[in-house]
């Protein structure tokens, strides 16, 4: 892979453009079933700026990383990128040294406590790459363990030195010097393990809980020859362990902000489901009573959200049996405020697909919750609709449009309910795109703006399939076609009343709106390519986007920074 000299600066009346391209020149068989992929990770630089770590590589459909992964870093908000050395020197069959890197590009972990810290694990080379400088410098730590690491979790109060590692063999390792030495393997048949990030009232991790590790382990139920799952705890790095709950753990959820833990259990003997909670780091547990609806049965509980001091649980149940034929499964959501365990039903018929559902706080809109629910349609059909709550789940409102084009003329809309999955919010307004899949909306596709916090929606742009980005007060909206190659990025400075174009000068590209990162809030980054998949992450479950274009040959990625004057 080589970096192409395509950097340029362009000034217009409205914007300044900084462009930087790096050309992908793969030296492997391009006829193989490989997809090009870019992962973007946003880190904090040593001087407080935002660094952008870009990992470009190839993936198979498994997906399994293949030779060709490369890492770039921008330390100036995307104005330029530097090549990061992640190559391994190896000798091929001819005896010549070659450069190969099998990096797990999907396993870049940003430390939640120190945004300057990140880890990149190379499974094939058993090596951990560590940065403490926002990606500026990296150390390479070979990991010579008997069992290959599966997950790496930083310590809540000592993330610069201590890591908790679970392995493919169900064992646990601990390093307290960032990979120089390891202790373990501990236990066996461990399914998951994590530090207890119990928080003080000021939101910082509690020191007395820093060495507590909770883990779920398989165990043999004596006399029954049945495998069950048990929750255990250690406060002395596995020298001793406490058995907390048994016999069978379904789910284990933690809410650090409220110092709460929830465990859903299932009895193999009676089939009974129970929910227990702890408010004291697992020392004592209380039974939680859930107000189950009549003629329904809950099969298990897990935390689906915790924001604004409230905790929300989703119940896996059989609501779908009461829906029309062919209906999707649904679930109930129960909520409790503060540290209360008094849960009440806040939403029924939540769309529940493969144990996944959409129930989330709208970005930049504290207290506003978006969800997708089952909706009964005409002729005994079943669809879904998106709803918003402005009062913590007490009441819900449908995302319905005005049914008018941007010029004010009406259009025929069989179902004018928008899809909440693409909502981006500001303190005073929110913006949503038409869903490209599973959408209940049956009118013309476009971008829709609400200037009253989500109660009413107006189309501001007819767009077949768009990605977009907005700044914190929605004074700038940027958008581009997402499903087909395009050369144009559109932007508005007046809430969609007028639109202007920025035309790319390269060959047609598939443009992605990823994220804007700037203190002035007037800078946007557009990541584009002559044809590839592009993904984005902030180290948590933030936003991902894919255009579905998968080239089999060399291509060029561009990082375009648009600064509004």
The reported pLDDT for the residue numbered 396 is 92
Q: Which of 54, 72, 62, 73 lies closest to 512, judged by CA?
A: 54
Global model pTM greater than 0.85: no
pLDDT digits (tens, 9 = 90+) for 302-319: 888 888 778 998 887 655
Using alpha carbons, list the distances in angstroms from residue 428 to 180, 454, 457.
50, 9, 13
The CA distance from 4 to 23, in Å, is 5
> What's the average model confidence in pLDDT over 414-436?
72
Number of H helices, E strands in the chain: 0, 44
What are the b/e assignments for 68-85, b being 16+ CB within 10 Å? bbbbbbbbbbbbbbeebe
How far is C-alpha 367 from the chain's CA centre?
A: 20
More confident residue, 105 or 227: 227
**Beta-bridge partners for 360:** 370
Calpha distance 535→483 (Å, rounded): 14
**Under a CB-based contact definition with an 8 Å cutoff, are residues 61 and 552 in contact?**
no
What does the pLDDT read at residue 546?
33
Which pLDDT score is estimated for 68?
43
Residue 10 has pLDDT above 50, yes or no: no
Q: What is the pLDDT of residues 487-504, one digit of tens each?
A: 778 888 888 889 988 776
Give pLDDT, residue 436: 45
The torsion defined by the Cα of 388, 262, 269 and 243, in degrees rounded to 10, comes to 170
Phi, psi of 417 (to 5 degrees): -85, 125
The pair phi, psi for residue 26, each rounded to 5°, is -75, 140
| C-alpha torsion angle, residues 340, 341, 345, 351 (rounded to 10) | 110
Greatest Cα pair distance in the chain: 79
pLDDT tens by residue, 261-318: 888 887 766 777 888 888 887 888 888 888 876 656 667 788 888 887 789 988 876 5
Return the domain boundaries, the chain: 1-142+503-565, 155-288
């Amino acid at each position: 892979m080589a970096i192409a000299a395509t950097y340029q600066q362009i000034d217009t009346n409205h914007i300044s453009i900084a462009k930087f391209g790096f050309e992908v020149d793969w030296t492997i068989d391009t006829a193989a079933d490989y997809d090009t992929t870019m992962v973007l990770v946003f880190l904090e630089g040593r001087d407080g700026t935002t660094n952008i770590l870009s990992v470009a590589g190839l993936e198979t459909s498994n997906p399994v990383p293949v030779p060709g992964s490369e890492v770039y870093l921008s330390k100036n908000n995307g104005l330029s990128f530097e090549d990061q050395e992640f190559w391994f020197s190896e000798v091929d069959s001819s005896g010549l040294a070659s450069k190969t890197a099998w990096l797990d590009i999907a396993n870049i972990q940003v430390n939640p406590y120190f945004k300057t810290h990140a880890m990149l694990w190379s499974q094939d080379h058993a090596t951990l790459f560590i940065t403490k400088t926002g990606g500026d410098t990296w150390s390479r730590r070979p990991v010579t363990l008997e069992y290959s690491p599966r997950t790496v979790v930083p310590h809540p109060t000592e993330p610069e030195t201590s890591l908790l590692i679970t392995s493919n063999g169900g064992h646990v390792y601990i390093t307290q010097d960032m990979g120089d030495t390891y202790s373990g393997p501990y236990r066996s048949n461990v399914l998951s393990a994590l530090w207890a990030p119990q928080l003080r009232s000021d939101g910082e991790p509690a020191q007395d809980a820093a060495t507590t590790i909770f883990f779920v382990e398989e165990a043999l139920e004596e006399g029954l020859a049945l495998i069950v799952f048990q929750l255990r705890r250690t406060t002395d790095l596995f020298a001793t362990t406490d058995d907390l709950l048994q016999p069978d753990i379904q789910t284990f959820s933690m809410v650090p902000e409220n110092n709460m833990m929830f465990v859903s259990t299932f009895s193999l003997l009676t089939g009974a489901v129970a929910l227990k909670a702890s408010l004291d780091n697992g020392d004592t547990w209380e039974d939680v009573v859930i107000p189950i609806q009549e003629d329904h049965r809950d099969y298990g509980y897990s935390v689906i959200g915790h924001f604004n001091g409230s905790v929300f649980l989703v119940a896996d149940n059989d609501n779908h049996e009461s829906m029309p034929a062919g209906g999707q499964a649904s679930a109930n959501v129960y909520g409790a405020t503060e540290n209360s365990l008094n849960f009440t039903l806040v939403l029924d018929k939540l769309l529940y697909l493969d144990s996944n559902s959409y129930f989330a706080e709208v970005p930049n809109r504290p207290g506003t919750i978006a969800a997708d629910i089952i909706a009964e349609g005409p002729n005994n059909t079943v669809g879904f609709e998106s709803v918003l709550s402005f009062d913590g789940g007490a009441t819900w409102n449908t995302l319905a449009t005005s049914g008018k084009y941007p010029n004010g003329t009406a259009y025929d809309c069989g179902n004018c309910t928008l899809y909440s999955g693409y909502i981006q919010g500001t303190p005073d307004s929110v913006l949503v795109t038409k869903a490209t899949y599973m959408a209940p909306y049956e009118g013309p596709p476009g971008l829709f703006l609400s200037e009253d916090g989500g109660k009413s929606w107006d189309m501001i742009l007819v767009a077949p399939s768009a990605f977009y980005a907005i700044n914190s007060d929605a004074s700038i909206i940027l958008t581009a076609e997402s499903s087909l190659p395009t050369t144009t990025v559109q932007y508005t400075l007046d809430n969609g009343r007028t639109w202007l174009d920025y035309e790319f000068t390269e060959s047609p590209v598939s443009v992605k709106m990823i994220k804007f990162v700037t203190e002035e809030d007037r800078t946007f980054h557009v990541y584009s390519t002559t044809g590839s998949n592009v993904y984005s992450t902030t180290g948590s479950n933030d936003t991902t986007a894919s255009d579905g274009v998968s080239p089999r040959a060399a291509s060029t990625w561009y990082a375009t920074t648009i600064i509004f004057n």
